[in-house]
Chain A
Amino acid sequence: MSNFQSPTIDWAALSPELILLGGASICLVLTLFLPWGWRRPFCAAVAAACFVGAGAAAIVLFVMDDAGRAVIVDAIRRDRLAEFGQILVAGSGLLAVGASFGWERNERDRIGEYYALLLSAAAGMAFFVAASNLMTLFLGLEWFSISLYVLTAIAVAWLPSLEAGLKYLIVGSFGSAILLFGSAFVYGATGAISFSGIAAGAAGADHLLFVMGLALILVGLGFKMSAAPFHMWTPDVYQGAPTPVTAFMSAATKVAALIATMRLLVTAFPSEARLWTITLAVIACISLAWGNIGALVQTDIKRLLAYSSISHAGFLLIPIAVGTPLGGRALLFYLISYAAMNLGAFAIVAARERELARPLTFDGLAGLGWERPMLGIAMSLFMFGFIGLPPAGLFLGKFYAFSAAIDRGWTWLAIVGVVATVVSIYYYVGVIGAMYFQRPVEVRVAPAGGSPPRDVGLSLTILLAVAVTVGSFIVAQPLLDIARHSVSFLGFPH
């Protein structure tokens, strides 16, 4: 042990994670010394500043790096794909802070913890998207998952939140265990845990062991991205978790899980490309079918959005499944507007929940469009956007995803996507119909009392989400260039 050499550490590469963790420590510790009244604004400001800082650090790294490089003996990578993911995670975190501000006044006792966990979850995701061997992959996964388990259950006085936290913990741990199990198989087969080492050792590996390991890893990641048939936790957790947490989880977890999956499959398993491309295509089809059919019968809006999230896992898997550079670009471009729209939609749900002081169902939406026109227009934009209609960036995202499938020669996959989209029209426009088409005499919605709360944080969040959604439609080219730079170094199998 005496000849152990400590690795040189590129601290700059870790700066986004460090900024987020620093913020988490500040929220956790300094808050104790502040008077009660200051804690909320202080923690929110620290969290927002750290998310901005982490995003800025990632942007700086993105601009500086033109080729990827290994950090800490290739435990993580410092490359544009990781930085792209970190920018999106930090942005999602920033919007989540806006969505939380005002809500956490119910959780006065846990303000510091709440923001600290939010920051630490984001730090875990930032680490996860950069992971370059199976250990760091698992570490990052557990890091953000544990933070999210606690965040889900943070409203301890509210039973559904506790229930959701427990469900998430059990099912999530199950998924993590499967991932770990699979990693062990792959290590056993190839003797390597780094992605490049696995790719190099694949030729001489025990094929059965290797493929089983790959399959188990895919299952574990499938849990995190809530792709069917590994989605069972999603509706319950999305519904039970406090809405700002759901907003963050739905956007950032998906970004992190999908980017990490793409990196893992493309760099570690190129030899099995035939297998995982078709597997992912099948998973995508199952998710599209299950998510959309499940969503048709929902009455709770958060549950509906959870099923929508499952179906979008299907859409997002299409570009990974095709395994082409065009697909890589499509995935990243899709994620930009998808994350913004999810955050925006959940923020609107949060706004209405605060007004009505009860979970939001279709009936609760009645008249929202007329009472609060800006929320109504924003929600309509998001719902039409989820279908894939202009002027939302998701339209171009879907266009690119379908393009990638057709370009690969998998027109059938694009057709499945189209059929799923047709089914999804029904429930997305149902939301718009509920907001606008119910006449006041037909449905009586009683607000919780007083005038509706005007939360600046929420409004800003929704405004930003709208700006990103529409902006990614209009100025598509620069964002596509960024997406192209982010995946240009990956050796796609097709």
Chain B
Amino acid sequence: MTTALILVPIGGALWVWIAPWRSARSAGGLALLVALAELALWIGTAFNFDFSDQGLQLQQQQSWFTDLGVSYHVGLFDFSLWLVGLTAVVTTAAIGYGFWSQRARPAGYLGLILFLEGATVGVFTAQDLLLFYVFWEAMMIPLYVLIGVWGGPARLAATVKFIVYTLAGSLLMLVAIIALGLKQGSFDMFEIGRGAGNTWIFLGFAAAFAVKAPLWPFHGWLPDAYRESPPEVAAILSGVISKAAAYGFLRIALPSFPGSISDLRTPILVLASIGLIYGSLLAFRAPDLRGVVAYSSLAQMNLIVIGLFAVNDSGVSGALLQMINHGLISAALFLTAGAIERRATTGDLRLLGGMARGRPILATLFITTGVIALAVPGSSAFAGEFLVLNGIFTRGWGWAVVGAVAMVLAAMYVLRLVSAVLHLDPGSAVPDAALDLRPAETSVILPLVAVLLVLSFWPAAITDHSFGGSPSKAVPSGYRHIVHEGNLP
């Protein structure tokens, strides 16, 4: 089952690439069908999933090469199930949007997005360090091509920056993986966490995750990559790929390096706090639509890292909930941004404005997403951020103050964005004839917002169904299963 979740999109990608298409429409249609099939497969998996079981489910293991103890080992934890679901939902929306906006060379384009989906699901399910690394690198290749071929005018510089940053991080992770794997004689993730790791190895892993998330100050690639990507690629990049980094912290760093985590908690929290405030301030100052979303994404990822490094029930659960929230929010915002840029041919906020008048669907969806993004009480983002702040409060009230300040800043940049786009006088770049969201656009953005609304009413859908569904204990018990009892800092 888990293997099927990986192979359906990858096989679909190959099919889309190889089949001789008569028209762009049929290639796009097939890609969309594959994405929907993956989503259906995930829903089926979720229904068959035993949320009371804390351990690894639906696992599969096959030896790859023996002398270093590497195997193809995949499986799902309850928290990875949610991230796989996020991947399936966001990718489906992105493919729908890409299909509708008729990109050039659709077979190559949509096939690469499907391949990316398969690799990402692989990252979320791999239980072997080398396999994890393989999927991790496999995520980067399609992203590189997607930005480089279909990106904006400054795409070449953006791709080089992106690939050098991320590969530099991930190669350090490779060294760490080798060092760790050789030390314990096996690359299986269940073998790590027995205290084999030292701080250098932890830093190797942290380098890869910090670049990909990104944690301040490793975010140099982020603004260019988010601005130059096609909107649906930016949606995946910020919605899903950044979560792979947070997942890496959650699945590998926290359980395996308890000593390093408690030693390095303060420096990492300092970096994340700076990133949170810095990202929020830049989002407030950014001159363009995508810049605001990109920097807010930076801020949110740093908040998630803060929650993870609280390493307690509330912080980790909140971080997971916030990963799902932010994935959906930023995907919805980037797709909406794409729709707006399509109409105004620019994302420059000075040239936008007044788009609400006569465009009720755009205005409603945009404001709803924005309000959830600024974590208004009652929204799912509020639930997530509250849990994160509650978790980090126990580590020191100062961190929680930083988080609370960032929530205020979030309100400022989101409201600025909403008013600059929707309200004020009609911008010079907004033609009067610019249409409201077309049905096709609505049909990809609306589901994302709908899921967010459902989660706002019922955030426990995720918090009660992850880490073995026992949030009352000090440490999530499902998580404890990975951590090897009593090993947690």
Contacts and interface: CB of A to CB of B under 8 A. Distances in A.
Nearest to B171: A418
B67 interface: yes
B178 interface: yes
B47 interface: no
Given A418-B171, A418-B174, A437-B148, A426 B68 contact: no
B174 A480 contact: no
B145 interface: yes
Contacts, number: 82
B172 interface: yes
A489 to B, nearest CB: 17
Contact of B149 (A390, A391, A406, A436): A436
A429 B149 CA distance: 13
Given A399-B174, A480-B67, A422 B159 contact: no
Interface string A147-181: 00000000000000000000000000000000000
A429 B155 contact: no
B178 A414 contact: yes
A279 interface: no
Given A389-B137, A437-B149, A437-B159, A477 B164 contact: no
Interface residues of A, number: 34
A399 B178 contact: yes
A95 to B, nearest CB: 25
B163 A425 contact: yes
Interface string B275-291: 00000000000000000
Interface in A287-307: none
B175 interface: yes
A163 B421 CA distance: 65
A366 to B, nearest CB: 13
Interface in B271-308: none
A384 interface: yes
B168 interface: yes
A415 B164 CA distance: 16
B69 to A, nearest CB: 11
Given A407-B182, A411-B179, A437 B155 contact: yes
Contacts of A120: none
Contacts of A395: 134, 137
Given A390-B134, A436-B149, A480 B65 contact: yes
From B134, B141, B171, residue with most partner A Cβ within 10 Å: B171
Contacts of B172: 418
Contact of B65 (A370, A436, A476): A476
A135 B103 CA distance: 65
Interface in A377-401: 380, 384, 387-391, 395-396, 399-400
B175 A426 contact: no
A387 B145 contact: no
B138 interface: yes
Contacts of B48: none
Interface string B153-192: 0011001100110011001101100110110000000000
A69 B168 CA distance: 46
Interface string A420-432: 0110011001001
B164 A425 contact: yes
A281 B231 CA distance: 47
Contacts of A329: 67
Contacts of B149: 436-437
Contact of A384 (B64, B141, B168): B141
Nearest to B138: A390
Given A390-B138, A437-B149, A429 B175 contact: no
A263 interface: no
B66 interface: yes
A115 to B, nearest CB: 36
Contact of A406 (B65, B160, B182): B182
A201 interface: no
A403 B167 contact: no
Interface string B64-84: 111110000000000000000
Nearest to A474: B64
B64 A477 contact: yes
Contact of A436 (B141, B145, B182): B145
Closest 5 CB pairs of A and B: A477-B65, A418-B171, A437-B148, A390-B134, A476-B65
Given A389-B137, A399-B174, A422-B171, 14 more contacts: A370-B105, A384-B141, A390-B138, A400-B68, A402-B175, A406-B178, A418-B171, A418-B174, A426-B160, A426-B164, A429-B160, A436-B148, A437-B148, A437-B149
23 contacts: A388-B171, A389-B141, A395-B134, A399-B178, A400-B68, A406-B178, A406-B182, A407-B182, A414-B178, A418-B175, A421-B171, A422-B167, A422-B171, A425-B164, A425-B167, A426-B160, A429-B163, A432-B148, A437-B148, A437-B155, A476-B64, A476-B65, A480-B67
